[in-house]
Structure 1
Amino acid sequence: MKDFFYGIEDLFVNVLFAPFDALRALELESWFSANIISWIFSIIGLVAFVYWMMQLAKYNSNNEEDKSVTAHSYL
């Protein structure tokens, strides 16, 4: 049973966490190269937010939503 848990440890430490070790090594070389991944995720989030707002504006301009007071029970 001990070998089973050592196998799980080996999987996580040497395989699944390897990209994080590469990022840690990248951080020591350059601050900008280490933070490029954060910028990529920020840009993806911004694009998704703009797309979502454009979809909401499209549905709002088509008057497809029931905006009456009794449309939702919690109102």
Structure 2
Amino acid sequence: MTEERVWFRYLIGVVVIVGGLAALGGLYFIEVPAGNREPLLIAIGIVIGWGSSVVGHEFGSSVAGRKAAEVGLQKAESAVTEAKP
């Protein structure tokens, strides 16, 4: 993994954690009008969900898993090229 990729992973992780905590913490200190409370909670949930999918993508796969996937793709590609007349 390149040095740039490692920093990107750490940066995304920190941004998601801090942003999610700030959004949820803000609900305790900032008064939200009753009519806007539900849409705000839905919006915060959507943003946290997006962040969690990015974190899941970045941290969810291991090096061994990536290598196994590469080997599987190479085998599939070689099988396809051998099957062509």
Q: Please state which band the TM-score falls in when normalised by the shorter chain.
A: 0.3 to 0.5
Q: Comparing both chains, which one has the higher relative contact order based on Cα–Cα distances under 8 Å and sequence gaps of 6 or more?
A: 2
* TM-score normalised to structure 1 length: 0.39
Q: Which has the higher helix share?
A: 2
* TM-score normalised to structure 2 length: 0.35
